[in-house]
Amino acid sequence: MTRSTAAQLGGQNVCAFLDMLAHSEIGAPLLAVSDDGYNVCVGSTPAHPILFSDYGTHPNILNRACNSTAAGRYQLLHRYFISYQASLHLPDFGPESQDAIAVQQIRECGALPNIIHGNFAVAVRQCSGIWASLPGSKYGQHVNSISDLQAAYCAAGGVLA
């Protein structure tokens, strides 16, 4: 569950969409053994979680097996954190900062109005260039089905149009 409130993020559908993204990127078992995904590094599994404990800044841990520095609930790369931290005036890589960055990324790909209005499948398609686990992603990684993601969205309180 997002640490930021619905009022801070733009409504309950936005919170539900972020929860769906965490479900998609991290998975329910790993969310359960971490700080709801906020402290997860790329390459983690529920049996072998790779977690960080300091939210002061992005951990910038390179996982050589994945060739990635992705970290946090929405698996943000370190290089992107630097610019988002400056542009959004974020104090750290804490949960609220991670939520704010994810909403900004959603805004940048034009999906925020669709999320607010419950146009779930359209919003997922618009965000697939950012999150590798979404249907339509071109990253060549595991992709979740739209039906599973929609179920996670609705379970998190999202409302469809």
| Amino acid found at 73 | R
Burial of 65 (0-12, 13-18, 19+ CB in 10 A): exposed
Closest CA to 35 of 81, 80, 71: 71
Tokens 């039906």, residue?
147
Q: Phi, psi at residue 32, to the nearest 5°?
A: -70, -30
**Residues forming the active site:** 25
